[in-house]
């Protein structure tokens, strides 16, 4: 059995009506649930077992909390019961409060905060029977104002951790909580705490399943919205690798044949991962495709996209983007690079990463993005676009794959098809990672001129 402390005005013990407990005096008595009276003890055990059976059969958190309050009123014959969740007096939240008739208590509830605080600080059930205005004031202004006669509070604890408290009080002159009441109330509160924790864990598991379902739906939507790789384009070979670290990715891309034979190739990366980042990437992709259908100047396209993002995304979020317009007939390209890893050009003369032309998107709404001068291309040249998940792929020793390894691998692949290039680069990445899971989304696009 547990040790329960309550306070007496003088040093006596027992439940003598003339020696009632008050606040402010040291612990004076040890008692328990069983009193030695067979009838009383049998009744206590029946109440305890009935309560355990009732709340243990329920795993709905709101129902469990309401049942706990109703049972507490029934067991103690109190006038009011309040159930708090939280681990400290200053952070408690009232979850359920009702009167003896089952009516909810609303508004700014007054109760003995000093009793609740003592209960939580000492992690044990406490009670007080008030016999005078002075004793009421000693227990707090709320006790005095409400003319409370009896107050009792027990902590809800699971594995030595406080998750809340159950509180009852009464103004009835004939209702005085005894040591047995306190013992029974505390014994019940121990079982109630387990039921609350089980219901919370069940609710958390349901929420986790719901979120996983939502993420899976988002992944399917994202996969459906991602554009296919165009096939059969004259003088140009395209290939794609798109891998999400989570079920929904912050990477985006597009491959858009334009009406004059040119091809727009875009790759972008939004801060973060998951559903929010995925939604933003597809909003940007949809806007970019619309602009490409109407505008010929890639500078104007990216400038308009930046203006749109800056007006709509939250502060602190941004998007890097590389837009390349390839003209296979003229064997040239122009690009806009908004804070993205550089476009890599592999030619007979070597491997070169082209410079950025502007800052990331979504930060400064009035920014104007310049397009690069035309870059001449030759048959057999390779263009490689990627997100930072490629060169930042990490080995078990925390070493990045890096730009140098990437360039060296690409230098040996100029004679390969676009698909073969991506297969070889991904194999090199994964070998560097030594089987470790992907930590960041990564996208690669290879463009090979015939």
For residue 231, the SS3 value is: coil
The pLDDT score that the predictor gives to residue 210 is 64
Q: Which residues in 122-250 belong to E strands, given as ranges?
A: 126-129, 150-158, 161-170, 236-243
- Binned at pLDDT 50, 70 and 90, residue 36 comes out as low
Higher pLDDT: 5 or 129? It is 129
Higher pLDDT: 14 or 175? It is 175
- Binned at pLDDT 50, 70 and 90, residue 196 comes out as confident
- Binned at pLDDT 50, 70 and 90, residue 11 comes out as very low
The pLDDT score that the predictor gives to residue 251 is 86
Taking the C-alpha atoms of residue 375 and residue 354, their distance in angstroms, rounded to an integer, is: 10
Give tens-digit pLDDT for 227-250. Answer: 889 988 999 999 999 987 765 568
Taking the C-alpha atoms of residue 264 and residue 242, their distance in angstroms, rounded to an integer, is: 18
Structure tokens at 176: 């005085």
270 within 8 A of 313, measured Cβ to Cβ: no
Structure tokens at 116: 């609740």
Give tens-digit pLDDT for 117-140. Answer: 999 999 888 888 765 565 555 555
Is the pLDDT at 3 greater than 60? The verdict is no
The pLDDT score that the predictor gives to residue 244 is 79
> pLDDT over 90 for what percent of the chain?
38
Give tens-digit pLDDT for 46-79. Answer: 766 666 665 555 556 777 778 778 878 877 888 8
Minimum mean pLDDT among 18-22, 39-43, 405-409: which range? 18-22
Higher pLDDT: 56 or 438? It is 438
Give tens-digit pLDDT for 339-391. Answer: 999 999 999 999 999 999 999 999 998 899 999 999 999 999 999 999 999 99
The pLDDT score that the predictor gives to residue 161 is 81
- Binned at pLDDT 50, 70 and 90, residue 403 comes out as very high
Residue extent(s) of CATH 3.30.450.40 domains in the chain:
38-203
> pLDDT over 70 for what percent of the chain?
72
Q: CA dihedral in degrees (308, 311, 316, 317; nearest 10)?
A: -30
Burial of 192 from C-beta contacts in 10 A (0-12 / 13-18 / 19+)? buried
* β-sheet bridge partners, residue 255: 265
Domain 217-449 has CATH 3.60.40.10: yes
The pLDDT score that the predictor gives to residue 140 is 59
What is the side-by-side order of every strand in the sheet holding 332-338?
Answer: 251-257, 263-270, 319-327, 332-338, 375-376
Which CATH architecture is the domain 38-203 placed in? 2-Layer Sandwich (3.30)
Is the pLDDT at 279 greater than 50? The verdict is yes
DSSP category for residue 354: P
- CB atoms inside a 10 Å sphere around CB 377: 20
The pLDDT score that the predictor gives to residue 412 is 95
**What is the three-state SS of 261-318?**
CCEEEEEEEECCCHHHHHHHHHHHHHHHHHHHHHCCCHHHHHHHHHHHHHHHCCCCCC
The pLDDT score that the predictor gives to residue 254 is 93
Supply the angle between the helices 179-225 and 274-294 in degrees, to the nearest 10: 30
Residue extent(s) of CATH 3.60.40.10 domains in the chain:
217-449
- Binned at pLDDT 50, 70 and 90, residue 32 comes out as low
With CA atoms as reference, report the closest residue to 153 among 189, 116, 207. 116
Instruction: Please give the average per-residue pLDDT across 82-109, as a whole number.
Output: 88
Instruction: Please give the average per-residue pLDDT across 28-39, as a whole number.
Output: 56
Instruction: Please give the average per-residue pLDDT across 178-190, as a whole number.
Output: 76
Taking the C-alpha atoms of residue 407 and residue 428, their distance in angstroms, rounded to an integer, is: 12
Structure tokens at 112: 């003995």
Q: What backbone phi and psi angles, to 5 degrees, belong to 408?
A: -65, -40
Taking the C-alpha atoms of residue 286 and residue 308, their distance in angstroms, rounded to an integer, is: 12
Give tens-digit pLDDT for 419-437. Answer: 999 999 999 999 999 988 8
The pLDDT score that the predictor gives to residue 439 is 78
- Binned at pLDDT 50, 70 and 90, residue 6 comes out as very low
Is the pLDDT at 272 greater than 60? The verdict is yes
Round the average pLDDT of the chain to a whole number and report it.
80
312 within 8 A of 433, measured Cβ to Cβ: no
215 within 8 A of 279, measured Cβ to Cβ: no
Taking the C-alpha atoms of residue 243 and residue 238, their distance in angstroms, rounded to an integer, is: 17
The pLDDT score that the predictor gives to residue 142 is 59
What is the side-by-side order of every strand in the sheet holding 126-129?
Answer: 93-99, 80-85, 161-170, 150-158, 126-129
308 within 8 A of 287, measured Cβ to Cβ: yes
Taking the C-alpha atoms of residue 365 and residue 309, their distance in angstroms, rounded to an integer, is: 8
The pLDDT score that the predictor gives to residue 45 is 66
Is the pLDDT at 28 greater than 90? The verdict is no
Give tens-digit pLDDT for 317-343. Answer: 899 999 999 999 999 999 999 999 999
The pLDDT score that the predictor gives to residue 361 is 94
With CA atoms as reference, report the closest residue to 167 among 185, 181, 179, 180. 185
Taking the C-alpha atoms of residue 304 and residue 261, their distance in angstroms, rounded to an integer, is: 23
Higher pLDDT: 281 or 423? It is 423
| N-to-C CA span, the chain | 86
Minimum mean pLDDT among 11-25, 189-203, 231-245, 271-285: which range? 11-25
């Amino acid at each position: 059995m547990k040790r329960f402390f309550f306070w007496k005005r003088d040093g006596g013990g027992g439940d003598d009506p003339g020696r009632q407990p008050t606040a402010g005096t040291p612990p004076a008595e040890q008692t328990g649930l069983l009193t030695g009276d067979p009838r009383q003890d049998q009744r206590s055990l029946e109440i305890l077992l009935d309560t355990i059976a009732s709340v243990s059969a329920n795993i709905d958190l709101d129902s469990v909390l309401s049942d706990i309050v109703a049972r507490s009123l029934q067991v103690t014959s109190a006038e009011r019961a309040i159930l708090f969740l939280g681990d400290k007096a200053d952070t408690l939240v009232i979850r359920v409060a009702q009167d003896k008739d089952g009516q909810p208590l609303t508004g700014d509830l007054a109760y003995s905060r000093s009793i609740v605080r003592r209960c939580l600080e000492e992690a044990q059930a406490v009670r007080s029977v008030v016999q005078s205005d002075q004793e009421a004031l000693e227990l707090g202004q709320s006790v005095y104002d409400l003319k409370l006669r009896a107050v009792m509070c027990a902590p809800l604890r699971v594995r030595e951790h406080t998750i809340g408290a159950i509180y009852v009080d009464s103004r009835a002159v004939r209702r005085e909580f005894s040591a047995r009441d306190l013992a029974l109330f505390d014994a019940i509160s121990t079982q109630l705490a387990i039921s609350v924790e089980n219901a919370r864990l069940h609710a958390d598991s349901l929420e986790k399943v719901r979120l996983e379902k939502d993420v899976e739906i988002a992944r399917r939507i994202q996969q459906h919205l991602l554009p296919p790789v165009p096939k059969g384009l004259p003088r140009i070979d395209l290939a794609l690798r798109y891998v999400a670290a989570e079920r929904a990715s912050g990477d985006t891309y597009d491959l858009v044949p334009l009406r004059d034979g040119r091809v727009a190739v875009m790759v972008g990366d939004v801060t973060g991962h998951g559903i929010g980042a995925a939604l933003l990437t597809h909003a940007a992709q949809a806007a970019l495709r619309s602009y490409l259908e109407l505008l010929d100047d890639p500078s104007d396209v990216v400038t308009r996209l930046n203006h749109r993002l800056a007006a709509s995304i939250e502060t602190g979020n941004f998007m890097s983007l590389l837009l390349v317009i390839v003209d296979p007939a003229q064997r040239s390209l122009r690009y806009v690079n908004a804070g993205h890893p550089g476009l890599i050009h592999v030619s007979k003369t070597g491997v070169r990463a082209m410079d950025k032309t502007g800052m990331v998107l979504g930060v400064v709404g009035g920014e104007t993005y310049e397009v690069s001068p035309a870059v001449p291309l030759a048959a057999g040249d390779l263009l490689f676009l990627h997100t930072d998940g490629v060169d930042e792929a990490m080995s078990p020793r925390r070493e990045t794959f890096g730009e140098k390894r990437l360039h060296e691998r690409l230098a040996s692949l100029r004679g390969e098809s676009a698909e073969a290039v991506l297969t070889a680069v991904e194999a090199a990445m994964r070998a560097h990672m030594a089987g470790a899971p992907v930590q960041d989304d990564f996208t690669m696009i290879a463009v090979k001129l015939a």
